[in-house]
Structure 1
Amino acid sequence: MRVAEPTRSGPAEGSGTVITFWPDAEIFETLMFSFDTLADHFRELAFLNRDLDITLTDDRDPGTPRADRFRFPGGARDWIAHQGTPRGPDVIGFERECSGMDGTVEVALCWGDSDDERVTGYANSRPTAGGGTHELGFRDGLAAALTACAREQRVLAPSDPDLAPTRLGAGLTAIVSVKLDRPEFEGSLRDRLGNGPVRACVAEAVQEHLTTWLRADPARAAAVLARIPALTRD
Protein backbone atom coordinates (compact mmCIF):
# COMPACT_ATOMS: atom_id res chain seq x y z
CA MET A 1 0.00 0.00 0.00
CA ARG A 2 1.38 3.43 -0.94
CA VAL A 3 1.04 5.92 1.93
CA ALA A 4 2.45 9.01 0.17
CA GLU A 5 3.69 10.30 -3.14
CA PRO A 6 7.47 10.05 -3.76
CA THR A 7 9.33 13.29 -3.02
CA ARG A 8 12.70 14.57 -4.21
CA SER A 9 15.19 14.83 -1.32
CA GLY A 10 18.35 15.88 -3.15
CA PRO A 11 21.51 14.13 -4.37
CA ALA A 12 22.30 10.75 -2.86
CA GLU A 13 25.60 9.97 -1.15
CA GLY A 14 25.59 6.37 -2.36
CA SER A 15 23.42 3.84 -4.16
CA GLY A 16 21.05 1.10 -3.16
CA THR A 17 17.55 0.52 -1.86
CA VAL A 18 16.21 0.92 1.67
CA ILE A 19 13.17 -1.15 2.63
CA THR A 20 11.32 -0.50 5.88
CA PHE A 21 9.04 -3.26 7.09
CA TRP A 22 6.59 -3.26 9.99
CA PRO A 23 4.82 -6.56 10.76
CA ASP A 24 1.05 -6.51 10.83
CA ALA A 25 -0.40 -7.85 14.10
CA GLU A 26 -3.41 -9.17 12.18
CA ILE A 27 -1.17 -11.39 10.04
CA PHE A 28 1.83 -12.38 12.19
CA GLU A 29 1.64 -14.37 15.41
CA THR A 30 4.49 -12.38 16.95
CA LEU A 31 5.81 -8.90 16.22
CA MET A 32 9.23 -9.57 17.76
CA PHE A 33 12.09 -10.26 15.36
CA SER A 34 14.53 -12.99 16.38
CA PHE A 35 18.13 -11.93 15.80
CA ASP A 36 19.32 -15.55 15.75
CA THR A 37 16.68 -16.61 13.21
CA LEU A 38 17.52 -13.70 10.91
CA ALA A 39 21.25 -14.38 11.34
CA ASP A 40 20.78 -18.03 10.30
CA HIS A 41 18.86 -16.97 7.20
CA PHE A 42 21.30 -14.24 6.16
CA ARG A 43 24.26 -16.56 6.76
CA GLU A 44 22.62 -19.12 4.47
CA LEU A 45 22.07 -16.51 1.75
CA ALA A 46 25.67 -15.33 2.01
CA PHE A 47 26.99 -18.87 1.62
CA LEU A 48 24.82 -19.42 -1.45
CA ASN A 49 25.68 -16.07 -3.05
CA ARG A 50 29.39 -15.43 -2.68
CA ASP A 51 29.18 -11.81 -3.86
CA LEU A 52 26.76 -10.80 -1.11
CA ASP A 53 27.97 -8.83 1.91
CA ILE A 54 25.21 -8.70 4.54
CA THR A 55 25.31 -6.86 7.85
CA LEU A 56 22.65 -7.52 10.49
CA THR A 57 22.37 -4.92 13.26
CA ASP A 58 20.10 -4.98 16.31
CA ASP A 59 19.71 -1.61 18.07
CA ARG A 60 16.59 -2.45 20.06
CA ASP A 61 18.51 -2.47 23.35
CA PRO A 62 20.95 0.49 23.40
CA GLY A 63 22.80 -1.15 26.27
CA THR A 64 23.62 -4.35 24.38
CA PRO A 65 23.66 -3.70 20.63
CA ARG A 66 24.40 -6.67 18.37
CA ALA A 67 25.80 -6.85 14.88
CA ASP A 68 26.98 -9.64 12.57
CA ARG A 69 28.47 -9.54 9.10
CA PHE A 70 28.00 -12.37 6.62
CA ARG A 71 30.34 -12.66 3.65
CA PHE A 72 31.78 -15.92 2.31
CA PRO A 73 33.87 -15.57 -0.88
CA GLY A 74 34.36 -19.35 -0.93
CA GLY A 75 30.64 -19.96 -1.36
CA ALA A 76 29.49 -23.52 -0.72
CA ARG A 77 33.04 -24.63 0.13
CA ASP A 78 32.99 -22.20 3.06
CA TRP A 79 29.66 -23.66 4.14
CA ILE A 80 31.11 -27.16 4.31
CA ALA A 81 33.91 -25.83 6.53
CA HIS A 82 31.35 -24.00 8.68
CA GLN A 83 29.59 -27.29 9.38
CA GLY A 84 32.81 -28.73 10.76
CA THR A 85 36.28 -29.08 9.29
CA PRO A 86 36.34 -32.51 7.66
CA ARG A 87 38.93 -35.07 8.59
CA GLY A 88 40.35 -37.18 5.80
CA PRO A 89 39.81 -36.24 2.15
CA ASP A 90 39.69 -32.55 1.36
CA VAL A 91 36.63 -30.61 0.25
CA ILE A 92 35.87 -30.58 -3.46
CA GLY A 93 33.92 -27.61 -4.78
CA PHE A 94 33.09 -26.10 -8.14
CA GLU A 95 30.70 -23.75 -9.90
CA ARG A 96 29.66 -24.21 -13.51
CA GLU A 97 27.36 -22.55 -16.01
CA CYS A 98 25.12 -25.02 -17.84
CA SER A 99 23.38 -23.78 -20.98
CA GLY A 100 21.28 -26.93 -21.14
CA MET A 101 19.35 -25.91 -18.04
CA ASP A 102 19.63 -22.11 -18.48
CA GLY A 103 21.47 -21.65 -15.23
CA THR A 104 24.42 -22.45 -13.01
CA VAL A 105 25.25 -25.20 -10.56
CA GLU A 106 27.49 -24.96 -7.51
CA VAL A 107 28.48 -28.06 -5.57
CA ALA A 108 30.68 -28.65 -2.54
CA LEU A 109 31.17 -32.03 -0.88
CA CYS A 110 33.44 -33.98 1.40
CA TRP A 111 33.57 -37.24 3.28
CA GLY A 112 34.08 -37.21 7.05
CA ASP A 113 34.37 -39.62 9.95
CA SER A 114 30.64 -39.79 10.68
CA ASP A 115 28.41 -42.37 9.00
CA ASP A 116 25.63 -39.80 8.64
CA GLU A 117 24.64 -38.30 5.30
CA ARG A 118 23.97 -34.57 4.93
CA VAL A 119 23.02 -33.58 1.38
CA THR A 120 21.25 -30.22 1.19
CA GLY A 121 19.74 -28.80 -1.98
CA TYR A 122 18.80 -25.26 -3.02
CA ALA A 123 17.20 -23.71 -6.08
CA ASN A 124 17.62 -19.96 -6.49
CA SER A 125 18.74 -19.83 -2.83
CA ARG A 126 15.49 -21.50 -1.77
CA PRO A 127 15.76 -24.70 0.32
CA THR A 128 14.38 -27.79 -1.42
CA ALA A 129 13.55 -30.11 1.44
CA GLY A 130 11.62 -32.31 -0.99
CA GLY A 131 14.66 -32.85 -3.18
CA GLY A 132 14.27 -32.69 -6.93
CA THR A 133 16.14 -33.01 -10.19
CA HIS A 134 19.27 -31.19 -8.97
CA GLU A 135 19.76 -33.65 -6.11
CA LEU A 136 19.03 -36.63 -8.37
CA GLY A 137 21.60 -35.33 -10.82
CA PHE A 138 24.13 -34.93 -8.04
CA ARG A 139 23.69 -38.57 -7.00
CA ASP A 140 23.85 -39.74 -10.63
CA GLY A 141 27.15 -37.92 -11.16
CA LEU A 142 28.52 -39.12 -7.84
CA ALA A 143 27.71 -42.75 -8.66
CA ALA A 144 29.19 -42.51 -12.17
CA ALA A 145 32.46 -40.98 -10.95
CA LEU A 146 32.88 -43.41 -8.05
CA THR A 147 31.98 -46.42 -10.22
CA ALA A 148 34.60 -45.43 -12.80
CA CYS A 149 37.18 -44.86 -10.06
CA ALA A 150 36.42 -48.22 -8.46
CA ARG A 151 36.89 -49.98 -11.78
CA GLU A 152 40.14 -48.13 -12.49
CA GLN A 153 41.48 -49.16 -9.09
CA ARG A 154 40.13 -52.71 -9.64
CA VAL A 155 37.94 -52.57 -6.57
CA LEU A 156 35.03 -53.42 -8.86
CA ALA A 157 35.39 -56.26 -11.32
CA PRO A 158 34.16 -55.76 -14.90
CA SER A 159 31.25 -58.09 -14.19
CA ASP A 160 30.19 -56.22 -11.02
CA PRO A 161 27.17 -53.89 -11.30
CA ASP A 162 27.58 -50.13 -11.11
CA LEU A 163 27.32 -48.49 -7.71
CA ALA A 164 23.77 -47.45 -6.78
CA PRO A 165 23.31 -43.66 -6.44
CA THR A 166 21.21 -44.09 -3.29
CA ARG A 167 23.86 -46.06 -1.37
CA LEU A 168 26.84 -43.72 -1.42
CA GLY A 169 26.00 -41.29 1.35
CA ALA A 170 27.83 -42.70 4.39
CA GLY A 171 29.91 -39.86 5.83
CA LEU A 172 29.02 -37.53 2.96
CA THR A 173 28.28 -33.83 3.45
CA ALA A 174 27.24 -31.93 0.33
CA ILE A 175 25.66 -28.68 -0.81
CA VAL A 176 23.93 -28.70 -4.21
CA SER A 177 22.79 -25.26 -5.34
CA VAL A 178 21.35 -24.34 -8.72
CA LYS A 179 20.29 -20.94 -10.04
CA LEU A 180 17.78 -21.03 -12.88
CA ASP A 181 16.01 -18.50 -15.05
CA ARG A 182 12.72 -20.36 -14.74
CA PRO A 183 12.62 -22.74 -11.76
CA GLU A 184 9.70 -25.15 -11.51
CA PHE A 185 8.71 -26.14 -7.98
CA GLU A 186 6.52 -29.16 -7.31
CA GLY A 187 4.84 -30.88 -4.37
CA SER A 188 2.22 -29.69 -1.90
CA LEU A 189 4.82 -27.49 -0.20
CA ARG A 190 6.48 -26.40 -3.47
CA ASP A 191 9.79 -27.64 -2.06
CA ARG A 192 10.85 -30.03 -4.84
CA LEU A 193 12.60 -28.88 -8.01
CA GLY A 194 11.05 -30.30 -11.17
CA ASN A 195 13.07 -28.87 -14.08
CA GLY A 196 13.92 -31.93 -16.21
CA PRO A 197 17.13 -30.74 -17.93
CA VAL A 198 18.71 -29.96 -14.56
CA ARG A 199 19.29 -33.61 -13.72
CA ALA A 200 21.53 -34.37 -16.71
CA CYS A 201 23.42 -31.07 -16.45
CA VAL A 202 24.21 -31.48 -12.75
CA ALA A 203 25.15 -35.15 -13.24
CA GLU A 204 27.59 -34.29 -16.01
CA ALA A 205 29.22 -31.50 -14.00
CA VAL A 206 29.58 -33.60 -10.84
CA GLN A 207 30.95 -36.61 -12.74
CA GLU A 208 33.52 -34.49 -14.59
CA HIS A 209 34.84 -32.55 -11.60
CA LEU A 210 34.78 -35.44 -9.14
CA THR A 211 36.55 -37.74 -11.59
CA THR A 212 39.35 -35.18 -12.06
CA TRP A 213 39.64 -34.78 -8.28
CA LEU A 214 39.83 -38.54 -7.66
CA ARG A 215 42.40 -39.18 -10.40
CA ALA A 216 44.65 -36.42 -9.07
CA ASP A 217 45.42 -38.42 -5.91
CA PRO A 218 44.99 -42.24 -6.02
CA ALA A 219 45.56 -42.57 -2.27
CA ARG A 220 42.80 -40.04 -1.59
CA ALA A 221 40.54 -41.85 -4.03
CA ALA A 222 41.20 -45.15 -2.26
CA ALA A 223 40.24 -43.55 1.08
CA VAL A 224 36.92 -42.41 -0.42
CA LEU A 225 36.19 -45.84 -1.93
CA ALA A 226 36.94 -47.48 1.43
CA ARG A 227 33.96 -45.61 2.91
CA ILE A 228 31.45 -47.22 0.54
CA PRO A 229 29.75 -50.25 2.16
CA ALA A 230 29.16 -51.93 -1.21
CA LEU A 231 32.91 -52.01 -1.79
CA THR A 232 33.89 -53.21 1.68
CA ARG A 233 35.23 -56.72 1.73
CA ASP A 234 35.30 -58.77 4.93
Structure 2
Amino acid sequence: MGSATDTGKTITFWPDTEIFETTRCSFAVLAERFRQVAFLYRGLEISLTDERPAGQARLERFRYPDGVRDFVAALDAAAGGSLHPDVIGFEREDPRMAGTMEIALHWGGRDAEGVRGFANGRLTREGGTHVEGFRDGVTAAVSAYARRRGLPTARDTGSIADRIGRGLAAVVSVKLDRPEYLGPIRGLLGNTEVRACVAGAVHHHLGAWFEEHPERAEAVVGEIVRTPV
Protein backbone atom coordinates (compact mmCIF):
# COMPACT_ATOMS: atom_id res chain seq x y z
CA MET A 1 0.00 0.00 0.00
CA GLY A 2 3.03 2.29 0.15
CA SER A 3 6.25 2.98 2.04
CA ALA A 4 6.47 2.37 5.77
CA THR A 5 8.89 3.16 8.58
CA ASP A 6 8.33 -0.09 10.48
CA THR A 7 7.85 -3.77 9.71
CA GLY A 8 5.02 -6.21 10.24
CA LYS A 9 1.98 -7.72 8.67
CA THR A 10 -1.73 -7.04 8.73
CA ILE A 11 -4.16 -9.87 8.03
CA THR A 12 -7.83 -9.13 7.42
CA PHE A 13 -10.41 -11.84 6.85
CA TRP A 14 -14.14 -12.52 6.95
CA PRO A 15 -15.42 -15.99 7.89
CA ASP A 16 -17.29 -17.73 5.10
CA THR A 17 -20.91 -18.40 6.08
CA GLU A 18 -20.99 -21.41 3.76
CA ILE A 19 -18.20 -23.07 5.76
CA PHE A 20 -18.63 -21.95 9.39
CA GLU A 21 -21.71 -22.55 11.50
CA THR A 22 -21.21 -19.18 13.16
CA THR A 23 -19.27 -16.19 11.88
CA ARG A 24 -19.30 -14.17 15.08
CA CYS A 25 -15.93 -14.15 16.85
CA SER A 26 -16.04 -14.69 20.60
CA PHE A 27 -13.97 -12.21 22.59
CA ALA A 28 -13.81 -14.64 25.53
CA VAL A 29 -12.51 -17.53 23.39
CA LEU A 30 -9.89 -15.37 21.69
CA ALA A 31 -8.81 -13.84 25.00
CA GLU A 32 -8.33 -17.27 26.58
CA ARG A 33 -6.19 -18.48 23.66
CA PHE A 34 -4.07 -15.31 23.54
CA ARG A 35 -3.57 -15.50 27.31
CA GLN A 36 -2.40 -19.10 26.90
CA VAL A 37 0.07 -18.16 24.15
CA ALA A 38 1.45 -15.28 26.23
CA PHE A 39 2.05 -17.70 29.13
CA LEU A 40 3.86 -20.17 26.86
CA TYR A 41 6.11 -17.58 25.17
CA ARG A 42 7.65 -15.64 28.03
CA GLY A 43 7.91 -11.90 27.40
CA LEU A 44 5.60 -11.90 24.38
CA GLU A 45 2.92 -9.20 24.57
CA ILE A 46 -0.42 -9.67 22.83
CA SER A 47 -3.22 -7.13 22.70
CA LEU A 48 -6.83 -7.90 21.80
CA THR A 49 -9.29 -5.16 20.89
CA ASP A 50 -13.01 -5.60 20.22
CA GLU A 51 -14.33 -2.63 18.26
CA ARG A 52 -17.81 -4.03 17.68
CA PRO A 53 -19.58 -2.28 20.57
CA ALA A 54 -20.19 1.25 19.25
CA GLY A 55 -18.18 3.69 21.37
CA GLN A 56 -17.28 0.96 23.85
CA ALA A 57 -14.17 -0.69 22.44
CA ARG A 58 -12.81 -3.39 24.74
CA LEU A 59 -9.06 -3.91 25.09
CA GLU A 60 -7.02 -6.53 26.92
CA ARG A 61 -3.26 -7.02 26.95
CA PHE A 62 -1.44 -10.22 27.85
CA ARG A 63 2.20 -10.43 28.92
CA TYR A 64 3.75 -12.76 31.52
CA PRO A 65 7.45 -12.22 32.30
CA ASP A 66 7.72 -15.51 34.23
CA GLY A 67 6.10 -17.63 31.51
CA VAL A 68 4.83 -21.01 32.63
CA ARG A 69 5.49 -20.15 36.28
CA ASP A 70 2.86 -17.45 35.93
CA PHE A 71 0.66 -20.00 34.15
CA VAL A 72 0.80 -22.43 37.06
CA ALA A 73 0.22 -19.67 39.60
CA ALA A 74 -2.89 -18.61 37.67
CA LEU A 75 -4.17 -22.19 37.46
CA ASP A 76 -3.62 -22.68 41.15
CA ALA A 77 -5.32 -19.41 42.07
CA ALA A 78 -8.30 -20.26 39.86
CA ALA A 79 -8.64 -23.61 41.66
CA GLY A 80 -8.56 -21.93 45.06
CA GLY A 81 -5.46 -23.69 46.32
CA SER A 82 -2.30 -22.41 47.98
CA LEU A 83 -0.97 -24.85 50.56
CA HIS A 84 2.64 -24.44 49.45
CA PRO A 85 3.04 -21.05 47.71
CA ASP A 86 6.27 -21.75 45.83
CA VAL A 87 6.03 -22.51 42.13
CA ILE A 88 8.92 -24.71 41.04
CA GLY A 89 10.07 -24.06 37.48
CA PHE A 90 12.94 -24.46 35.07
CA GLU A 91 13.86 -24.32 31.40
CA ARG A 92 16.30 -26.59 29.59
CA GLU A 93 17.50 -27.28 26.07
CA ASP A 94 18.26 -30.89 25.20
CA PRO A 95 19.81 -31.79 21.82
CA ARG A 96 18.69 -35.40 22.21
CA MET A 97 15.11 -34.34 21.58
CA ALA A 98 16.07 -31.45 19.27
CA GLY A 99 14.24 -28.89 21.34
CA THR A 100 13.64 -27.17 24.64
CA MET A 101 11.38 -27.73 27.61
CA GLU A 102 9.89 -25.25 30.06
CA ILE A 103 8.20 -26.77 33.09
CA ALA A 104 6.55 -25.41 36.21
CA LEU A 105 4.69 -27.20 39.00
CA HIS A 106 3.12 -26.56 42.36
CA TRP A 107 1.33 -28.65 44.97
CA GLY A 108 -1.62 -26.71 46.33
CA GLY A 109 -4.55 -27.36 48.59
CA ARG A 110 -6.78 -29.00 45.98
CA ASP A 111 -7.67 -32.67 45.51
CA ALA A 112 -7.71 -32.75 41.71
CA GLU A 113 -4.68 -33.00 39.43
CA GLY A 114 -4.19 -30.30 36.81
CA VAL A 115 -1.28 -31.16 34.50
CA ARG A 116 -1.39 -29.48 31.10
CA GLY A 117 0.92 -30.47 28.27
CA PHE A 118 1.85 -28.31 25.28
CA ALA A 119 3.94 -28.99 22.19
CA ASN A 120 5.06 -25.99 20.14
CA GLY A 121 2.41 -23.87 21.80
CA ARG A 122 -0.36 -26.35 21.05
CA LEU A 123 -2.38 -27.96 23.84
CA THR A 124 -2.00 -31.75 23.74
CA ARG A 125 -5.30 -32.72 25.31
CA GLU A 126 -4.46 -36.42 25.39
CA GLY A 127 -0.99 -35.89 26.83
CA GLY A 128 1.92 -37.75 25.31
CA THR A 129 5.57 -38.48 25.97
CA HIS A 130 6.29 -35.06 27.50
CA VAL A 131 3.57 -35.52 30.14
CA GLU A 132 4.61 -39.15 30.75
CA GLY A 133 8.21 -38.03 31.21
CA PHE A 134 7.09 -35.34 33.64
CA ARG A 135 5.27 -37.87 35.81
CA ASP A 136 8.27 -40.25 35.63
CA GLY A 137 10.58 -37.47 36.82
CA VAL A 138 8.34 -36.34 39.67
CA THR A 139 7.88 -39.93 40.83
CA ALA A 140 11.65 -40.52 40.77
CA ALA A 141 12.43 -37.32 42.69
CA VAL A 142 9.76 -37.93 45.34
CA SER A 143 10.76 -41.60 45.74
CA ALA A 144 14.45 -40.72 46.10
CA TYR A 145 13.74 -38.06 48.71
CA ALA A 146 11.39 -40.34 50.67
CA ARG A 147 13.97 -43.14 50.57
CA ARG A 148 16.70 -40.85 51.93
CA ARG A 149 14.38 -39.79 54.77
CA GLY A 150 13.45 -43.39 55.56
CA LEU A 151 9.73 -42.90 55.02
CA PRO A 152 7.82 -46.20 55.32
CA THR A 153 6.22 -46.19 51.86
CA ALA A 154 9.35 -45.16 49.98
CA ARG A 155 9.82 -48.62 48.52
CA ASP A 156 6.39 -48.63 46.93
CA THR A 157 7.19 -46.63 43.78
CA GLY A 158 3.96 -47.62 42.08
CA SER A 159 1.95 -46.30 44.98
CA ILE A 160 3.86 -43.00 44.96
CA ALA A 161 3.26 -42.64 41.23
CA ASP A 162 -0.47 -42.91 41.91
CA ARG A 163 -0.31 -40.27 44.62
CA ILE A 164 1.85 -37.49 43.16
CA GLY A 165 -1.01 -35.93 41.20
CA ARG A 166 -3.12 -35.14 44.27
CA GLY A 167 -3.30 -31.34 44.39
CA LEU A 168 -0.65 -30.92 41.69
CA ALA A 169 -0.85 -28.11 39.15
CA ALA A 170 1.73 -28.20 36.37
CA VAL A 171 2.48 -26.99 32.87
CA VAL A 172 4.80 -29.05 30.66
CA SER A 173 5.71 -27.13 27.51
CA VAL A 174 8.12 -28.49 24.89
CA LYS A 175 9.22 -26.81 21.68
CA LEU A 176 10.53 -29.30 19.15
CA ASP A 177 12.11 -29.04 15.70
CA ARG A 178 10.25 -32.18 14.57
CA PRO A 179 7.14 -32.84 16.66
CA GLU A 180 5.35 -36.12 16.00
CA TYR A 181 1.66 -36.33 16.86
CA LEU A 182 -0.53 -39.39 17.21
CA GLY A 183 -4.24 -39.50 16.49
CA PRO A 184 -6.41 -37.65 13.99
CA ILE A 185 -6.60 -34.38 15.96
CA ARG A 186 -2.91 -34.21 16.95
CA GLY A 187 -3.77 -34.29 20.64
CA LEU A 188 -1.07 -36.78 21.67
CA LEU A 189 2.69 -36.17 21.39
CA GLY A 190 4.57 -39.24 20.25
CA ASN A 191 8.31 -38.35 20.15
CA THR A 192 9.81 -41.25 22.10
CA GLU A 193 13.05 -39.48 23.04
CA VAL A 194 11.14 -36.68 24.76
CA ARG A 195 10.00 -38.90 27.64
CA ALA A 196 13.49 -39.72 28.92
CA CYS A 197 14.73 -36.14 28.42
CA VAL A 198 11.87 -34.60 30.37
CA ALA A 199 12.02 -37.27 33.08
CA GLY A 200 15.72 -36.72 33.68
CA ALA A 201 15.39 -32.95 33.80
CA VAL A 202 12.42 -33.01 36.18
CA HIS A 203 14.15 -35.52 38.48
CA HIS A 204 17.26 -33.33 38.63
CA HIS A 205 15.58 -29.96 39.16
CA LEU A 206 12.87 -31.14 41.54
CA GLY A 207 15.42 -33.13 43.55
CA ALA A 208 17.62 -30.03 43.83
CA TRP A 209 14.61 -27.97 44.96
CA PHE A 210 13.83 -30.55 47.66
CA GLU A 211 17.39 -30.28 48.99
CA GLU A 212 17.34 -26.46 48.96
CA HIS A 213 13.95 -26.24 50.71
CA PRO A 214 13.96 -29.07 53.28
CA GLU A 215 10.99 -27.87 55.34
CA ARG A 216 8.74 -27.45 52.33
CA ALA A 217 10.05 -30.70 50.84
CA GLU A 218 9.12 -32.57 54.02
CA ALA A 219 5.60 -31.13 53.84
CA VAL A 220 5.12 -31.99 50.17
CA VAL A 221 6.66 -35.47 50.18
CA GLY A 222 5.19 -36.34 53.56
CA GLU A 223 1.71 -35.48 52.29
CA ILE A 224 2.22 -37.62 49.18
CA VAL A 225 3.40 -40.76 50.98
CA ARG A 226 0.75 -40.50 53.69
CA THR A 227 -2.24 -39.84 51.43
CA PRO A 228 -4.33 -42.95 50.60
CA VAL A 229 -4.53 -43.86 46.91
Range into which the TM-score falls when normalised by the shorter chain: over 0.9
Identify unmatched segments of 5+ residues in structure 1.
Answer: 1-7
Deviation, 1:109, is 0.4
Moved more, 134-143 or 181-190: 181-190
User: For 2:71, which of 65, 76, 79 is the aligned residue?
Assistant: 79
Alignment of 1:62 onto 2:91: no
2:86 matched to 1:93? Answer: no
| Counterpart among 188, 192, 196 of residue 188 in structure 2 | 192
Aligned-residue offset at 1:72: 0.6
- SS of equivalent residue, structure 2 residue 197: helix
The 1:56/1:232 distance shift into structure 2, 3 A limit, reads closer
Alignment partners' CA distance in 2, 1:93 and 1:73: 13
Partner of 2:139: 143
TM-score (norm 2): 0.92
Query: Is 1:162 paired with 2:154?
Result: no
What's the CA shift string for 1:55-114, capped at 9, x where partnerless?
001111232110000111100000112121733251101111111100011111000111
SS at match of 1:154: coil
Distance 1:23 1:119, change over 3 A: same
Counting only pairs closer than 5 Å after superposition, residues 21-60 of structure 1 correspond to structure 2 as 21-60=13-52
Instruction: Please say if residues 89 and 224 of structure 1, whose CA atoms lie closer than 8 Å, have aligned partners that are also in contact.
Output: no
Per the TM alignment, residue 227 of structure 1 is displaced from its structure 2 partner at its CA by: 2.1
String of CA shifts for 1:34-63, please: whole Å, max 9, x gaps: 111100000000000113110001111232
Note if contact 2:163-2:227 (Cα within 8 Å) is conserved in structure 1. Answer: no
Deviation readout 1:194-232 (Å, 9 max, x if unpaired): 00000000001100100000011211111001221x445
Q: What is the SS of the residue equivalent to 2:157?
A: coil
- The root-mean-square deviation of aligned C-alpha atoms, in Å, is 1.7
Q: Does the 8 Å contact 1:133/1:198 carry over to 2? A: yes
Task: State the alpha-carbon separation in 2 of the partners of residues 79 and 187 from structure 1.
Answer: 27
SS in 2 for 1:226: helix
Matched, 1:9 2:2: yes
Rg comparison, structure with higher value: 1
Q: How far 1:190 moved relative to its partner? A: 1.8
- State how far apart, in whole Å, the 1-side matches of 2:88 and 2:67 are: 12
CA distance in 2, matches of 1:157, 1:24: 60
2:99 partner letter: G
The corresponding residue for 1:122 is 118
Partners of 1:98 and 1:201 within 8 A in 2: yes
Deviation at 1:156, TM superposition (A): 4.1
Report the identity percentage.
52
Structure 1's consecutive aligned runs of 4 or more residues displaced over 4 angstroms after TM superposition are none
Change (3 A) 1:89 1:51: closer
Shift of residue 161, structure 1, vs aligned partner: 3.2
Counterpart residue identity of residue 176, structure 2 = L
- Looking at secondary structure, tell me which structure has more helix per residue: 2
